Amino acid sequence: MDSTIWPAESLARVPYWVYQDQANYARELQRLFEGATWNYVCLEADIPEKGDYRTNVVGAMPVIVVRDADGGVNCFENRCAHRGALIAFDDGGNVQNQFKCIYHAWSYDLEGKLRGIAFERGINGVGGMSKDFRRDAHGPRRLRTTTLCGLVFATLSDATPPIEEFLGPEILGRIKRVLNRPIKVMGRFTQVLPNNWKLYVENVKDTYHASLLHLFFGTFRITRLTQGGGVLVSADGGHHASYTIDKSDDRQSTAYRDQGIRTESADYKLTDPSLLDTVKEFGDDIQLQILSVFPGFILQQIHNCLAVRQVVPKGTGEMDLKWTYFGFADDSPEMTRRRLKQQNLVGPAGFVSMEDGCVGGFVQRGIAAAGRLDSVVEMGGTGAESQETRATEASVRGFWKAYRHHMGY
Amino acid sequence: MELSRLVELNAAYARAIDTEKFEEWPDFFLDPCLYKVTTADNVAQGLESGVMYADSRGMLQDRISALRQANIYERQRYRHIVGLPVVLGEDGGTADVETPFLIVRIMHDGKMEVFATGCYRDKVRLDAANTPRFAERIVVCDGGRFDTLVAIPF
């Protein structure tokens, strides 16, 4: 498949080979994840002290993120300059001043600079490295980092603009709305999804599907298209924030029932409605906000259930979705309990999210023989601008706008 | 608590789930209770969240009604292999029990695979009718990677 040929100029058509083609996948890792984008790598709360580190990946590249002596955050490739072994193989931990590769004990400082070579001068003058070997010319690739509201992002490209510019003022404002004070991590889970990573990102941006696929949303009015809300799309198309505002007149709306849509069920009631006991905590009426940063980061506020999600591509047909649930450091015990209960909505067993776990796989299997055909992304027109309705696929088209820009399609 | 009663409790619990008699599942718990599915890493780090979390029998019933009526997923069932319980302690009629498990997931296309392994960390008490019930069942999965989705409780 010649994957450089896009079938139509319109953002409203997406060719199915883009979820299947191996060469295209390799190009994505290079041009998107290793390209001019900011990739989420960890929370500042994960690495509060000097020497605290976490390992992660940027696309396919393993990286180490570490807090240095000055309180800054460094990120470098998790690959020894010698033979290429992982320098750190735990999820995280603390190193005092240096990382040491276990293979031949080459060591690195907290900036990822090569500092020590075991037996560099050999033994009794025999063996060792050649005298003209320059340590400073060898080392894992270093990424630039930036922090924003407790999130740590990294980029390999010199061309990536500052994060504020990358996101644009609207998306930036929506991140600051949620992450307005120090957070505390409440749990981590990984969901292994049997689909191309882009199908999940599209699902996150697809405001049209949420209350149609998810009965839980529709029935309990967590989000319905007939409620207030809209979707913000950044100028480059790549980032989005969708939001729902509860409106009392929606209680009388019969739009779902009139169309016979499965997700509004009059019979379905919770035995213990404490699951949905919600308090307004952000000084506004937004009860749900889903935000994505291109290419693979998501910040979620569903009532009082807060999480970040990282999309990790694993080949054309599989991905990991890494969930980190969080609350705020100043949460009361009641608030903690409220969040624990509402976390039932999300994650691998989420009343809402579990369906997003399988629907991408249904597409991946459905399109197995359709590589030369296109999908239709035409709700709400063919543009990628912000809209005051969620019955639109504007932010999905925005994703493809940014995708084509970075990929050169 | 006698070991045989704990073995019976675990066997009946696994059978209810594996034979898809999900409506019986909440009755294995006292009310209030604590049921949580989490991972060994989260427990080791003192992180409280679960992929499932319930602190009342009502919430357990809601899990089942959601599974029956609301959630969409491919047809699947489980086969639990439950090991022998170890009583770690007993205090005021509450037994502190740990039991290893292995769950094979059988998909509608016939695929059988190990879906989860781990241990149940339980607090078991007798109810008014003198039947052992879970005051607490923390499902501690050995790993933290869940394939596609978890619809049926562990």
Q: pLDDT tens for residues A132-179? A: 999 999 999 999 999 999 999 999 999 999 999 999 999 999 999 999
Phi-psi domain of B74 (left: phi exceeds 0; alpha: psi -120 through 50; beta: other): beta
> A17: helix, coil or strand?
helix
**Is any Cβ of chain B less than 8 angstroms from the Cβ of A248?**
no
pLDDT at position A257: 62
Task: Find chain A residues with C-beta within 8 A of B63's C-beta.
Answer: 344
pLDDT at position A255: 67
Instruction: Reply yes or no on whether the pLDDT at A252 is more than 80.
Output: no
> A148: helix, coil or strand?
strand
Q: Is B146 close to A190, i.e. CB distance below 8 A?
A: yes
**Is any Cβ of chain B less than 8 angstroms from the Cβ of A114?**
no
Q: pLDDT tens for residues B86-113? A: 999 999 999 999 999 999 999 999 999 9
Instruction: Reply yes or no on whether the pLDDT at A251 is more than 60.
Output: no
Of the pLDDT bands very low, low, confident and very high (cuts 50, 70, 90), residue A391 is confident
Closest listed residue to residue B33, CA positions, set B130, B122, B153: B122
Segment A376-387 shows an average pLDDT of 89
Least CA distance to A344: which residue of chain B? B52
Instruction: Reply yes or no on whether the pLDDT at A3 is more than 90.
Output: no
Considering the domain A168-407, what is its CATH architecture? Alpha-Beta Complex (3.90)
pLDDT at position A125: 86
**Is any Cβ of chain B less than 8 angstroms from the Cβ of A275?**
yes
Cβ atoms A257, A306 nearer than 8 A: no
Closest listed residue to residue A242, CA positions, set A164, A299, A314, A309: A299
Q: pLDDT tens for residues A264-303? A: 666 678 899 999 899 999 999 999 999 999 999 999 999 9
pLDDT at position A222: 62
Superfamily the domain A39-148 falls into: Rieske [2Fe-2S] iron-sulphur domain (2.102.10.10)
Dist. CA B147–CA B144, nearest whole Å? 10
Task: Find chain B residues with C-beta within 8 A of A347's C-beta.
Answer: 51
Q: Which residues pair with B54 in a beta bridge?
A: B35
Dist. CA A215–CA A303, nearest whole Å? 17
Considering only the beta carbons, identify the residue of A187, A215, A272 that sits closest to B56: A272
Q: pLDDT tens for residues B114-131? A: 999 999 999 999 999 999
Instruction: Reply yes or no on whether the pLDDT at A248 is more than 70.
Output: no
Considering only the beta carbons, identify the residue of B47, B72, B145 that sits closest to A187: B47
Instruction: Reply yes or no on whether the pLDDT at A262 is more than 70.
Output: no
Q: pLDDT tens for residues A322-367? A: 999 999 999 999 999 999 999 999 999 999 888 898 999 999 999 9
Would you list the DSSP string of B33-102?
Answer: EEEEEEEHHHHHTT----SEEESSHHHHHHHHHIIIII-----EEEEEEE---EEEEEETTEEEEEEEEE
pLDDT at position A268: 72
pLDDT at position B34: 98
Instruction: State what percent of residues in chain A have pLDDT above 90.
Output: 79
pLDDT at position A283: 94
Segment A52-61 shows an average pLDDT of 98
**Is any Cβ of chain A less than 8 angstroms from the Cβ of B49?**
yes
**In terms of pLDDT, which residue wins out, A152 or A390?**
A152
For testing the chain A interface, which of B27, B33, B51 should be mutated: the one with the most A CBs within 10 Å?
B51
Cβ atoms A210, A223 nearer than 8 A: yes
Cβ atoms B17, B137 nearer than 8 A: no
Task: Find chain B residues with C-beta within 8 A of A344's C-beta.
Answer: 52-54, 59, 63
* Domains of chain B as residue ranges with CATH: 3-141 (3.10.450.50)
pLDDT at position A20: 97
Q: pLDDT tens for residues A210-230? A: 778 887 766 666 666 677 888
Considering only the beta carbons, identify the residue of A216, A320, A349 that sits closest to B149: A349
Peptide bond into A295 cis (omega under 30): yes
pLDDT at position A256: 63
Cβ atoms A9, A294 nearer than 8 A: no
What are the domain boundaries of chain A? 39-148, 168-407
Q: Which residues pair with A29 in a beta bridge?
A: none
**Is any Cβ of chain B less than 8 angstroms from the Cβ of A191?**
yes
Other Cβ atoms less than 10 A from the Cβ of A3: the count is: 18
Alpha-carbon gap: A409 to the closest alpha carbon of chain B (Å): 31
In the DSSP assignment, the letter for residue A161 is P
- Joined tokens for residue A222: 């967590």
pLDDT at position A6: 80
pLDDT at position A224: 67
Considering only the beta carbons, identify the residue of B55, B62, B144 that sits closest to A188: B144
Instruction: Reply yes or no on whether the pLDDT at B46 is more than 60.
Output: yes
Cβ atoms A377, A216 nearer than 8 A: no
β-sheet with A240-245: strand ranges across:
A228-233, A240-245, A286-293, A297-302, A305-313, A319-328, A183-193, B145-147
Amino acid in the structure at residue A87: I
Of the pLDDT bands very low, low, confident and very high (cuts 50, 70, 90), residue A10 is confident
Instruction: Reply yes or no on whether the pLDDT at A250 is more than 60.
Output: no
C-alpha torsion A383→A386→A392→A393, nearest 10: 60
Q: Is B71 close to A215, i.e. CB distance below 8 A?
A: yes
pLDDT at position A305: 97
pLDDT at position A228: 83
Q: Rounded to two decimals, what is the model's pTM?
A: 0.94
Task: Find chain B residues with C-beta within 8 A of A190's C-beta.
Answer: 144-146
